[in-house]
Amino acid sequence: MKELSVLLAVVDFKRPNLTRDTSVAFLAFLTGLSEEEFRAALASLEKKGLIQVSGDNQGLRISFQGLLDAVEKQAPE
């Protein structure tokens, strides 16, 4: 459930017109998780190949292309 909360927060935060990246603290707040729990869920999702994380705690960049690829793979043609 924590991983789902993290994914939803990351996807919800993404906007095409954002001028800066978000922080771990803000996304953790959105999910209701501690920063430590949030980072652990990020690491787990990254290990599964669903996201790629770069940046630091104040300027977190998260790509969820792996998640999009996994969803597309499951979609019937």
* Domains in the chain, CATH or no CATH each: 2-74 (1.10.10.10)
**What are 7-64's pLDDT values in tens digits?**
999 888 877 777 777 899 999 999 999 999 999 999 999 999 999 999 888 888 889 8
Which pLDDT does position 41 carry in this prediction? 96
> Phi then psi for 46, rounded to 5 degrees?
-70, -40
Which pLDDT does position 39 carry in this prediction? 95
pTM for the whole thing?
0.84
Positive or negative CA dihedral for 12, 16, 18, 24? positive
Which pLDDT does position 13 carry in this prediction? 82
Structure tokens at 77: 């043609």
Structure tokens at 24: 């771990």
